[in-house]
Structure 1
Amino acid sequence: MRKGKFQLGAKGLLLAVAVFAVAVGGVQTVFAVTSSSENYQLTETQFNGGTVAEGCSEKYCTQASIGDTSRTTGKSSAAFDPKPEDDPVLEVIVDPGESNLGVLTTEHTATKTLIVRVRNNLSEGYIVQIVGNAPKFGNHSLKTTSTPEASKPGTEQFGINVVANTTPLIGAAPAQVPGGQGVFGSAVDGYNTPNVFKYASGDVIARSTSATGRTDYTVSMVVNISNNTPAGKYTGDFAAIVIPTY
């Protein structure tokens, strides 16, 4: 997965955000190895027809799928590998690619979405966590709140939620794939209310209490700056972690 370089306005703010996926089960932990430069980050350097890191125990397997960069377009993609329906599995992938937040001013909110896709046929379900520090430059981290708040242009703020929003117009509710069968995963309190955002590293943002098949969670990020926000290149690395429950 690639770390994008985002231009955040005349104040000279840049924001680089990288997100990678981790599936955890029993004593097995699956993670992506990171390599980076000033302008980008790859969470798996062994790209080919579809890179998958896999760990198995006697009861189930966990996978973190990174995607396919073998296409001639130069763009990467992410997809689940075929898996027998009766094979116990917990998988998670996050879309790779770059995003441009455009020019950030104190009058407007910068936004980004990422989709965390979870495929699960473990009967007891799972939780989804987001881990990582708020974007930081030098000793200054963008402010976060422990309680959900509305997006406030002109006030320094970094927050996320996992629902469809109208202010700003961003995000989507958790969705089952394929559709037409209800949704078996949901955002949790604090991250399930439209138009308000919060962030704390390690928070559980979504959960499922049963075997769900595939559920897609759209994580919406908002970034606001104030006149007092120091100019600089802000970076943030976030991991989407999925843990089975019993």
Structure 2
Amino acid sequence: MGFKYGKPTVTLVVEAVKSLGGSATQVDVDTYLKKEYPNYKNNTYTNLNACSVNRNSPGSHSFNKYQRRSDDYQNPRNKYDQLFKRGDIYELYKPEIHGVWEIYCDEHSKWHTRIIDDSDEARYLERELEIQIESAEKLALEERKLRLISYEKHPQIRYVMTKVFLRNPYVVVEVLERAKGICEICKLKAPFLRAKDGRPYLEVHHIQPLSEGGMDIVENAQAICPNCHRKAHFGPITS
């Protein structure tokens, strides 16, 4: 079977992410492929999502209308489970970091994806946010600002044992940078430095809780000390 660019486009987008260091936005991939293939015209976004284990609509692609787990390496369609979508970034899928995912069909013949290591999922999501924050901290200020603007303001929801909100790592980094080690409520210095990197330890708190419809944006967040954070949730506090 002949392919317009010599290979299936779903293969091309994965190879592009690999060539771009294992992490790239849709724009990065599109730009890369247009340089490699001057006549390239394809739906990069659709192909990236088709190859992401946490894809939103697996039923949109015929090759994903098959129940499988992302760790089932004997399944020939596992070759499409190569990426993980984190906000607007696509990165090479690593089960030890991103967890094991499954495509399944419900009782209404609708196709979905879900993470299946349920007992560990809340911890996995916390770890995922930590990794995102570390990646965001390594970005140049201007790049982080651009990604902050493009990131979804209303957090995604993922249903696990309880409902959890997928927080924006760029908001976390921006708010911590703004605070410069000073609690934005009590105005005292952070109580200690993080053992990992020596930076002041503050926690990012949403003024209007995400669970009450608050947006995951810099303007709705504060960097505060653990004591003020507990007061904000469990006792009266004035800002």
Bigger relative contact order, structure 1 or 2 (CA pairs below 8 A, ≥6 apart):
1
TM-score where L is the length of structure 1: 0.23
Higher helix share: 2
TM-score where L is the length of structure 2: 0.24
Larger Rg: 2
Higher strand share: 1
